Amino acid sequence: MNILVTSAGRRVKLVQYIKRTINKVGNVTAVDCDYNAPALHFGDNWEIIPRVDSKDYLSSIISVCKKHNIKGIISLIDPELEILAKHREKFNQLGVELVLSPLGMIEYSFDKQETYNYLSEIGVPTIPTYSILREVESMLKNNEITYPLIVKPGKGSASVGLEIVNNQAELKGSYLKADNLIIQPYYKDREYGIDVYIDMISGELIDLFIKEKLKMRSGETDKSVSIHNSYIEELVMEFVSKTNFSGPIDIDCFEHKGEYYISEINPRFGGGYPHAHELGCNFIQYLVRNLCGEINDNYNGYRYDNGYIMMKYDDIRIMDEHEG
């Protein structure tokens, strides 16, 4: 059972979790375009590949799969997901399975306006999202929405380009800075991240982990606390039953005036997944079973304790340039 982790980056813990889970029955190959990517050097094997926007990217991934007899691919960055999903058949022909949702679900996830349109259409509570400034100005005038508002790229991640605006001048100035921006009301009494695993064979919910975000850094959770919340649990169960996502996904959710709204969907492992794993939600074990053709037991309640805080910290490893 050999697994390939693409664009490993800084996700050292995830690579370590995979190695620990498949110990003695397989190995982990990590790839990245940057030799200095920390997680690259924690795999059993590692390879340098071209950037995701290179014409040689796909062929290099396929070559690595053949060289290391890869069974499954886990991708950790958004730009890769759509490319891999579009070529799923090529990987299937090699006997390689993508630990990845269907292309349609990925496309909905990467466009925030489409995310809102899709979730609204299927009746899942989500944060109102607008792409037309005149529409927002009219709603403000009619007191249908109020400041503060959020202006951010319609396609993007890690909170890059996000601005909070408090009046018309700020709104107009922020919105006119770039193309393809969206506007949302500021629903942020509390912010949550939910790690979710959906069986890649049955399509059923297998596990979920809810954390309240206490501190963020560069769009990723730096400090969080595990919680049990029946409203969010029911929201996630409804979401999974009405969509076609698969494998590990990461959901952002906001609480506003006692109601809960899905904000974003990341169809991959989230940066805060180690919190779930350390408390017993072993998504790696679930995906390995799926790659072996086995169906996991359906979700039957929380598999973790609430009230446990996770804090990220930096560590250092010194290597010479030939190590690896």
pLDDT band, residue 323 (cuts 50/70/90) = low
The arithmetic mean of pLDDT across residues 86-111, rounded, is 96
307 neighbors 282 (Cβ within 8 angstroms): no
The arithmetic mean of pLDDT across residues 241-259, rounded, is 96
201 and 304 together in one domain: yes
**What DSSP string runs through 201-248?**
TT--EEEEEEEEEEEEETTEEEEEEE---HHHHHHHHHHHHHS---EE
pLDDT band, residue 160 (cuts 50/70/90) = low
Establish if 120 belongs to a structural domain. no
pLDDT at 9: 86
pLDDT at 222: 72
The arithmetic mean of pLDDT across residues 156-171, rounded, is 82
The arithmetic mean of pLDDT across residues 246-264, rounded, is 96
pLDDT band, residue 10 (cuts 50/70/90) = confident
User: Measured between alpha carbons, how far is 119 from 160 in angstroms, rounded to an integer?
Assistant: 23
The arithmetic mean of pLDDT across residues 82-95, rounded, is 96
208 and 290 together in one domain: yes
Assess whether pLDDT exceeds 80 at residue 156.
Answer: no
pLDDT band, residue 215 (cuts 50/70/90) = confident
Task: Give bridge partners of residue 108 from the DSSP assignment.
Answer: none
170 and 210 together in one domain: no
The arithmetic mean of pLDDT across residues 25-40, rounded, is 93
The arithmetic mean of pLDDT across residues 166-193, rounded, is 91
Assess whether pLDDT exceeds 70 at residue 319.
Answer: no
Establish if 317 belongs to a structural domain. no
Average pLDDT score, the chain: 92
Rounded to two decimals, what is the model's pTM?
0.92
Copy the structure tokens of residue 242. 């009405």
Establish if 65 belongs to a structural domain. yes
Assess whether pLDDT exceeds 80 at residue 122.
Answer: yes
- Please give the backbone phi and psi of residue 229, each rounded to the nearest 5 degrees, phi first: -145, 110
pLDDT at 216: 62
Domain of 181?
130-185
**What DSSP string runs through 75-144?**
E-SHHHHHHHHHTHHHHHHTT-EE-S--HHHHHHHH-HHHHHHHHHHTT--B---B--HHHHHHHHHTTS
Residue 286 sits in a domain whose CATH number is 3.30.470.20
Boundary (domain end) residue, out of 54, 83, 100: 100
pLDDT at 189: 84
List, for residues 219-249, the tens digit of each pLDDT value: 566 789 999 999 999 999 999 999 999 999 9
181 and 74 together in one domain: no
pLDDT at 219: 57
Assess whether pLDDT exceeds 70 at residue 170.
Answer: yes
pLDDT at 102: 97
Query: Percentage of the chain surpassing pLDDT 90?
Result: 82
Query: Percentage of the chain surpassing pLDDT 70?
Result: 93
Establish if 166 belongs to a structural domain. yes
pLDDT band, residue 155 (cuts 50/70/90) = confident
167 and 213 together in one domain: no
287 and 195 together in one domain: yes
Tell me the CA distances in angstroms from 105 to 148, 170, 205, 240, 290, one per residue in order: 30, 34, 16, 12, 19
User: Measured between alpha carbons, how far is 228 from 211 in angstroms, rounded to an integer?
Assistant: 8
User: Measured between alpha carbons, how far is 192 from 117 in angstroms, rounded to an integer?
Assistant: 21
The arithmetic mean of pLDDT across residues 122-134, rounded, is 95
